[in-house]
């Protein structure tokens, strides 16, 4: 979780310094959701992600150096600089891709689960998406198909209360997005997305149900992003008070304190982990900066398999 | 049919059988499904109903509901499901009941299927086929009669195939299914009921190779799908008048067989392009520009195109027949060029 937090803060800083170009959608604050979900799955399971996908990617085992290199647009990045933040994938670790279309990963995860079912394997696919995506038409279509076909897919809605600047109270007539699950004939579960243990437990239960042929689940992680939607977002649509309230529920100190309390870790070890990770993030920046950009000719290739 | 690739690799097949266009497509599906367990079908009413036009008749009974996966009316979601299955190594063949409904599938087709290989790199392949029933002539009205090849031609990363004959349909569908890229496979619904000769035995037709329909020295007529059949009829009309038409059936629009096009154009110097799609921004506009770019000094006359006008397709059968190009319209255009 520190890796995600420090990575995102570093990216934010690099943009502010004018070093990185384009835009970014940072997930600082939502670490417990990303890490909790992946921890509740097996390493051989799959995930699809969103435009806000760095956390999902790093949680799944993505290499921060190659991810940073991609943000720098370098040839050593996951997409050789052709994809950028919103378009990276690493099938080898089961990361089926971040996605620039809101909700785009939802039917894709459903199809991946269909392939798994057809092969009679016991993998599970988790589809990450936000509150905004839950209003896309393909959300409806995909959840319905997963339910009628009993596909091994977990729909993980990270409800951070805002779709860009639109608050959920203006976009939904229901309080919980998970309430929609009933309409599709699947379980709907609401979980504290700032609590790593709660997320992990909910995902593990849903994954076992899916593996046993029990079909999909809609999980709603209540969470909050600390930074803006993207670059240049002055967050005029929410209050500093609200931000402070959620910062007090930060999942990282919560997990750290729990691990120290039960003797899994000491304060010193916790500090060392944070320092190691900070170094790792610095190294990823150095790696990216030292990497070349693809030659232009290469940008004209690779359209077709 | 000298350019057919037989399973044995060389020579033309010795015998033929008579099949409906739909049956030829079905044979391609059966052969590819028997060959590769990863090939499966997705679409509306493809199960017990056999598909809106009967292409998948009998396949549910043969392969079961897992493999002939009948979807609810969810073109967008179904397209995305196909993408997700394909990136995992499955080879879905989706039936889109009417090409007009491609609008509903467009995000997953154009923003995902078409772009994954480029963005995500060699690890990512999307080997799916989207079979579309296109075309007017059945008085189905404006939202059930379109030919929208121009829309998908404009998306880098898609392949676009449009057979004109049943024999080509079978060989091209087999190749499309084996292709590791997303292929939009355009079937003309009027041609579905055409009964034609198909070679016995297994054969494949490569994507990106045009079919030289008939030889002529005076004017090139270049088209695809049902209009290639109309072009062939027009050539017959013109032959009676002593005008030799060199007719090319493109078969594939992306990748385009530019070599075959230029070979014909440099031979005749006069070109009529034909499509069933509407005029502005259509396939012919692209073909004309490529001909102009590569062979303008071979041209003895301006390039002509015969298309449907820029209107939604009208319902009344008399009106529909009047606006869709036919052999007579093509012959008129070619005659005018030949007389210049």
In this structure, the strands spanning B16-20 and B195-199 are antiparallel
Q: Give me the residue from B81, B92, B124 closest to A91, CB to CB.
A: B124
3-state SS string over B58-75? CHHHHHCCCCEEECCCCH
Task: Give the Å distances, CA to CA, from B10 to B13, B14, B15, B165, B204.
Answer: 9, 12, 15, 22, 12
Burial class for A187, CB neighbours closer than 10 Å (0-12, 13-18, 19+): middle
pLDDT digits (tens, 9 = 90+) for B240-258: 999 999 999 999 999 999 9
Average pLDDT, chain B: 96
* Distance from C-alpha of A48 to C-alpha of A102, rounded to nearest angstrom: 12
Please count the helices (runs of H) and the strands (runs of E) in chain B. 12, 16
What pLDDT is recorded for position B9? 47
Using the Cβ of B107 and the Cβ atoms of chain A, whether some distance falls under 8 Å is answered with yes
pLDDT digits (tens, 9 = 90+) for B166-204: 999 999 999 999 999 999 999 999 999 999 999 999 999
* Distance from C-alpha of B310 to C-alpha of B319, rounded to nearest angstrom: 14
Sheet arrangement for strand B271-278: B211-214, B245-249, B219-223, B271-278, B304-308
Min Cα–Cα distance to chain B from A79, Å: 5
Mean per-residue pLDDT, A279-299: 97
pLDDT digits (tens, 9 = 90+) for A204-253: 999 999 999 999 999 999 999 999 999 889 999 999 999 999 999 999 99
Residues ≥6 apart with Cβ < 8 Å to A26:
A8, A11, A12, A52, A54, A225, A227
Does residue A29 sit in helix, strand or coil?
A: coil
Mean per-residue pLDDT, B315-339: 98
Instruction: For residue A118, report the phi and psi dihedrals to the nearest 5 degrees.
Output: -65, -30
Is the bond leading into B304 cis (omega within 30 degrees of zero)?
A: no
What pLDDT is recorded for position B8? 46
Task: Give the Å distances, CA to CA, from A134 to A131, A256, B73.
Answer: 5, 32, 19
pLDDT digits (tens, 9 = 90+) for A31-77: 999 999 999 999 999 999 999 999 999 999 999 999 999 999 999 99
pLDDT band, residue B12 (cuts 50/70/90): low
What pLDDT is recorded for position A58? 98
Residue A106 has pLDDT above 90, yes or no: yes
What residue in B sits closest to A139 (Cα-Cα)?
B77
Task: Report the 10 Å Cβ neighbour count for B328.
Answer: 12
pLDDT digits (tens, 9 = 90+) for A140-173: 999 999 999 999 999 999 999 999 999 999 999 9
- pTM of the model as a whole: 0.96
* Distance from C-alpha of B101 to C-alpha of B77, rounded to nearest angstrom: 13
Burial class for B10, CB neighbours closer than 10 Å (0-12, 13-18, 19+): exposed
State the DSSP string of A82-129: SS-TTS--BGGGTB----SSTTTHHHHHHHHHHHHHHTT----EEEEE
> Among candidates A1, A99, A87, which has minimal Cα distance to A50?
A99
Instruction: For residue B127, report the phi and psi dihedrals to the nearest 5 degrees.
Output: -85, 70
Give the bridge partners for B68, in sequence order. Answer: B41
pLDDT digits (tens, 9 = 90+) for B205-217: 999 999 999 999 9
Burial A233-247 (b: 16+ CB within 10 A, else e): eebeeeeeeebeebe
Pull the structure tokens for residue A253.
């100190």
Contacts of B252 in chain A (CB under 8 A): none
Task: Test A108 with B84 for CB contact under 8 angstroms.
Answer: yes
What residue in B sits closest to A123 (Cα-Cα)?
B88
Q: Which percentage of chain B shows pLDDT scores above 70?
A: 96
Does residue B85 sit in helix, strand or coil?
A: helix
On the CB side of B126, how many CA atoms lie within 13 Å of its CA? 34
Instruction: For residue B107, report the phi and psi dihedrals to the nearest 5 degrees.
Output: -65, -50
Contacts of B81 in chain A (CB under 8 A): 107-108, 110-111, 114, 142, 145
* Distance from C-alpha of B16 to C-alpha of B18, rounded to nearest angstrom: 7
What residue in A sits closest to B71 (Cα-Cα)?
A145
pLDDT digits (tens, 9 = 90+) for B128-153: 999 999 999 999 999 999 999 999 99
pLDDT band, residue B11 (cuts 50/70/90): low
Contacts of B116 in chain A (CB under 8 A): 89, 97
Average pLDDT, chain A: 97
What pLDDT is recorded for position A139? 98
What pLDDT is recorded for position A232? 85
What pLDDT is recorded for position A231? 87
Q: A interface mutation test: which of B84, B118, B179, B255 has the most A CBs within 10 A?
A: B84
H/E segment holding residue A144:
helix A137-149
* Distance from C-alpha of B31 to C-alpha of B37, rounded to nearest angstrom: 11
Pull the structure tokens for residue B224.
């695809």
Instruction: For residue A113, report the phi and psi dihedrals to the nearest 5 degrees.
Output: -65, -35
> Among candidates B230, B214, B177, B164, which has minimal Cα distance to B32?
B177
Complex-level ipTM: 0.96
Residues ≥6 apart with Cβ < 8 Å to B298:
B265, B266, B269
Using the Cβ of A153 and the Cβ atoms of chain B, whether some distance falls under 8 Å is answered with no
Using the Cβ of A137 and the Cβ atoms of chain B, whether some distance falls under 8 Å is answered with yes
Mean per-residue pLDDT, B264-278: 98
Residue B13 has pLDDT above 70, yes or no: no
Structural contact between residues A190 and A220, judged by C-beta atoms closer than 8 angstroms: yes
> Among candidates A199, A189, A178, which has minimal Cα distance to A254?
A199
Give me the active site residues of B, please.
75, 144
What pLDDT is recorded for position B5? 57
Residue A135 has pLDDT above 70, yes or no: yes
* Distance from C-alpha of A141 to C-alpha of A163, rounded to nearest angstrom: 20
What pLDDT is recorded for position B221? 98
Give the bridge partners for B199, in sequence order. Answer: B16
């Amino acid at each position: 979780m520190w890796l995600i937090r420090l990575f995102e803060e570093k990216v934010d800083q690099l943009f502010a310094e004018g070093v990185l170009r384009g835009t970014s959608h940072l997930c600082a604050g939502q670490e417990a959701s990303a890490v909790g979900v992946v921890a509740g799955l097996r390493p051989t399971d799959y995930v699809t992600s969103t435009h806000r996908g760095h956390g999902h990617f790093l949680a799944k085992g993505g290499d921060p150096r190659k991810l940073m290199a991609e943000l720098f647009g370098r040839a050593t990045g996951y997409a050789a600089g052709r994809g950028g933040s919103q378009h990276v994938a690493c099938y080898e670790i089961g990361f089926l891709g971040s996605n620039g279309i809101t909700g785009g990963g939802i039917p894709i995860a459903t199809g991946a689960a269909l392939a798994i079912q057809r092969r009679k394997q016991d993998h599970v696919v988790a589809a990450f998406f936000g509150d905004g995506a839950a209003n896309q038409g393909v959300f409806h279509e995909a959840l319905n198909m997963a339910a009628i076909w009993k596909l091994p897919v977990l729909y993980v809605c990270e409800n951070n209360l805002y779709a860009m600047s639109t608050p959920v109270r203006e976009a939904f007539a229901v309080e919980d997005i998970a309430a929609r699950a009933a309409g599709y004939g699947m379980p709907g579960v609401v979980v504290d997305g700032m609590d790593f243990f709660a997320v992990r437990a909910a995902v593990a239960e849903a994954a076992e149900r899916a593996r046993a042929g029990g079909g999909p689940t809609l999980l709603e992680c209540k969470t909050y992003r600390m930074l803006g939607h993207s670059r240049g977002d002055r967050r005029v649509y929410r209050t500093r008070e609200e931000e402070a309230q959620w910062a007090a529920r930060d999942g990282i100190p919560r997990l750290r304190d729990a691990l120290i309390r039960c003797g899994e870790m000491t304060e010193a070890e916790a500090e060392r982990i944070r320092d190691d990770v900070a170094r790792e993030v610095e190294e990823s920046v150095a790696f990216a900066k030292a990497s070349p950009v693809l030659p232009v000719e290469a940008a004209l290739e690779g359209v077709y398999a | 049919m000298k350019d057919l690739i037989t399973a044995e690799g060389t020579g033309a097949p010795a015998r033929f059988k008579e099949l409906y266009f739909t049956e030829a497509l079905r044979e391609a599906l059966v052969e590819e499904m028997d060959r590769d367990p990863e090939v499966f079908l997705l679409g509306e009413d493809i199960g017990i109903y056999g598909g809106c036009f009967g292409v998948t008749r009998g396949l549910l009974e043969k392969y079961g509901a897992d493999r002939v996966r009948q979807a609810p009316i969810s073109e967008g979601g179904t397209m995305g499901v196909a993408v997700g299955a394909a990136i995992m190594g499955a080879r879905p063949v989706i039936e889109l009941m009417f090409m007009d409904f491609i609008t509903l599938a467009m995000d997953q087709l154009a923003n995902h299927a078409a772009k994954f290989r480029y963005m995500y790199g060699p690890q990512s392949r999307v080997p799916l086929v989207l079979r579309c029933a296109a075309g007017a002539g059945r008085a189905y009205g404006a939202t059930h009669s379109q030919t929208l090849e121009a829309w998908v031609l404009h998306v880098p990363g898609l392949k676009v195939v449009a057979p004109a004959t049943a024999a080509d349909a079978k060989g091209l569908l087999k190749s499309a299914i084996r292709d590791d890229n997303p292929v939009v496979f355009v079937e003309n619904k009027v041609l579905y009921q055409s009964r034609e000769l198909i070679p016995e035995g297994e054969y494949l037709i490569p994507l990106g190779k045009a079919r030289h329909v008939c030889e002529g020295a005076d004017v090139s007529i270049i088209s695809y799908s049902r209009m290639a059949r109309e072009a062939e009829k027009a050539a017959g009309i013109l032959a009676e008048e002593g005008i030799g038409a060199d007719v090319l059936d493109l078969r594939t629009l992306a990748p385009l067989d530019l070599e075959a096009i230029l070979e014909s154009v440099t031979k005749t110097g006069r070109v009529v392009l034909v499509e069933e799609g509407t005029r502005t921004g259509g396939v012919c506009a692209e073909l004309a520009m490529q001909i102009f770019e590569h062979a303008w000094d071979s041209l003895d006359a301006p390039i002509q195109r015969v298309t449907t006008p820029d209107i939604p397709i009208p319902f009344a059968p008399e009106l529909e027949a009047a606006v869709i190009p036919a052999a007579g319209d093509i012959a008129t255009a070619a005659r005018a060029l030949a007389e210049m």
